[in-house]
């Protein structure tokens, strides 16, 4: 924790703590099964304005999920050190104005327009500019775990700034709500038993008809899961609007083609197939390793085969920031952008804008997290996502560990997202 007086006038408090989550049911992917998570929760208090930020921390996975709580804490301490050193220098200066454009990497000056302005040092907004400058200059930014760390801190800064200005984050960004409402997907994970999968289906389908179903390389089992979910909801008279199939980078080209045979007759029901190819298709753990060109070309062919059958392939694990987009265009039709992997809302915005410029479809994802985290992502989803997103993290955890209420959005018409314009900052409140 750090407490200080900005320019010897404005009270500032910064803190970090573990945020332990209990899941409603086991959350299984092709790689792991978890029943609890430990996220990081940041609080930034400027006078009486409290801003909160959270980063979801799934089990570490090379080239994709790179941080745990200890990493976030290490980054936070480095950020505190940067603040402490710069604060001492500022206290010795007599300047009446303070200015740092935290959004200069976003070339379109219309985005975050009001937050780019020069501030009087007495203005509480100058504190947020100062803290952003320290964040952008933190020495730990060279580390791979810095992305999730920056996500949580940036979220807390924008939450507080929005509350101070009495505006939701999407209005701070200066993006209008889309005329069309975007769908909210609920994730049905690979629970250990079919009974647990059905329980998860029953719970999620109460909120939305858009379902994201995680499947591994076992085609027979995967199709049985899809069939069982369809029959279950048919019996309950709960229509499925769309299905997203999430492979979590677990398929081989052979498996992808087997799934294609089964999924193509259902193409009208399936919005996308997420990350069928391994992360290593385009990335290597060691600089000495080389990309397998034959393997890459096979997946390029699979993209066309899926497209010819009316199915779209989206990247998930393989997309972190806009730097990944050039390589992915040949493999996918769209990308799933997550704030933790992008490094926060600013980088997430840049990634989405570049993806659209390149003709890629967009989707917003979330980690297993509270309503705080998923509500932050909703501010980008409302205008910049073509296919909606899986902002279901707050539903995946139990009520006891859900510390926040009054989501930034409400669900209408069997799972369509409508932003709450009267909720400021991220849009949630601490219980």
Q: Write the CATH number for 304.
A: 3.20.20.120
Element containing residue 130 per DSSP (H, E): helix 125-136
The percentage of the chain sitting over the pLDDT mark of 70, rounded to a whole number, equals: 99
Helices (H) and strands (E) in the chain, counts: 13, 18
Which of 246, 316, 324, 390 is the catalytic position?
A: 390
Section 63-87 average pLDDT: 96
- Per-residue H/E/C for 228-248: HHHHHHHHCCCCCCEEEEECC
Give per-residue pLDDT as tens, 55-74.
Answer: 999 999 889 999 999 999 99
Selection from 68, 16, 154, 41 nearest residue 402 by Cα: 41
72 in the same domain as 40:
yes
Which of 163, 212, 214, 341 is the catalytic position?
A: 214
* Structural domain span for residue 28: 2-169
Element containing residue 41 per DSSP (H, E): strand 33-46
194 in the same domain as 130:
no
400 in the same domain as 282:
yes
Known active-site residue 390: yes
Q: Give the end-to-end CA distance of the chain in Å, rounded to a whole number.
A: 22
Domain CATH code at residue 72: 3.30.390.10
Would residue 175 count as lying in a domain? no
Question: Residue 240, SS3?
Answer: coil
Last residue of a domain, one of 169, 200, 221: 169
Would residue 413 count as lying in a domain? yes
Known active-site residue 214: yes
| pLDDT for 375 beyond 90 | yes
User: In total, how many domains does the chain have?
Assistant: 2
pLDDT tier, 94 (very low <50, low <70, confident <90, very high otherwise): low
pLDDT tier, 221 (very low <50, low <70, confident <90, very high otherwise): very high
Quote the pLDDT of residue 95: 63
212 in the same domain as 129:
no
Bigger pLDDT: 192 vs 176: 192
**Cα distance between residue 187 and residue 376, in whole Å:** 18
Last residue of a domain, one of 169, 192, 225: 169
Assigned token pair, 90: 């500022």
Would residue 174 count as lying in a domain? no
């Amino acid at each position: 924790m750090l407490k200080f007086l900005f320019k010897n006038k404005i009270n500032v408090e910064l803190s970090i703590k573990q945020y332990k989550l209990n899941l409603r049911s086991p959350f299984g992917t092709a790689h792991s099964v978890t029943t609890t998570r430990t996220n990081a929760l940041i609080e930034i208090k400027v006078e009486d304005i409290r801003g909160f930020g959270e980063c979801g921390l799934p089990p570490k996975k090379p080239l994709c999920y790179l941080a745990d709580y200890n990493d976030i804490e290490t980054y936070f301490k480095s950020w505190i050190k940067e603040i402490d050193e710069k604060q001492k220098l500022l206290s010795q200066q007599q300047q009446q104005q303070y200015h740092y454009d935290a959004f200069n990497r976003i070339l379109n000056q219309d985005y975050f327009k009001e937050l780019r302005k020069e501030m009087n040092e007495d203005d509480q907004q100058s504190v947020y500019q100062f803290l952003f400058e320290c964040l952008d200059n933190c020495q730990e930014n060279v580390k791979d775990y810095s992305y999730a760390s920056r996500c949580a801190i940036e979220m807390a800064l924008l939450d507080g700034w929005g509350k101070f200005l009495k505006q939701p984050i999407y209005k701070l960004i200066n993006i209008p709500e889309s005329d069309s409402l975007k769908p909210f997907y609920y994730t049905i994970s690979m629970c250990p038993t079919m009974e647990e999968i059905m329980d998860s289906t029953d719970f999620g389908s109460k909120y939305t008809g858009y379902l994201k179903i995680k499947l591994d390389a076992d085609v027979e089992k995967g199709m049985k899961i899809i069939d069982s979910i369809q029959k279950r909801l048919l019996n309950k008279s709960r229509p499925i609007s769309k299905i997203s199939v999430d492979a979590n980078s677990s398929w081989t080209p052979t498996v992808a083609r087997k799934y294609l045979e089964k999924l193509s007759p259902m193409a009208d029901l399936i919005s996308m197939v997420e990350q069928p190819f391994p992360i290593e298709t385009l990335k290597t753990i060691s600089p000495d390793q080389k990309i397998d060109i034959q393997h890459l070309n096979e997946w390029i062919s699979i993209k066309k085969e899926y497209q010819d059958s009316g199915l779209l392939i989206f990247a998930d694990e393989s997309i972190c920031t806009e730097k990944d987009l050039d390589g992915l265009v040949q493999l996918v039709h769209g990308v799933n952008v997550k704030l933790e992997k992008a490094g926060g809302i600013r980088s997430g915005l840049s990634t989405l804008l570049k993806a659209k410029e390149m003709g890629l479809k967009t989707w917003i994802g979330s980690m297993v997290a509270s309503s705080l985290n998923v509500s932050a992502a909703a501010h980008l989803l409302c205008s910049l996502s073509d296919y909606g997103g899986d902002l279901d993290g707050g539903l995946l955890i139990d009520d006891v560990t859900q510390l926040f209420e009054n989501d930034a959005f409400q669900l209408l018409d069997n799972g369509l997202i409508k932003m709450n314009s009267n909720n400021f900052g991220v849009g949630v409140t601490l219980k």
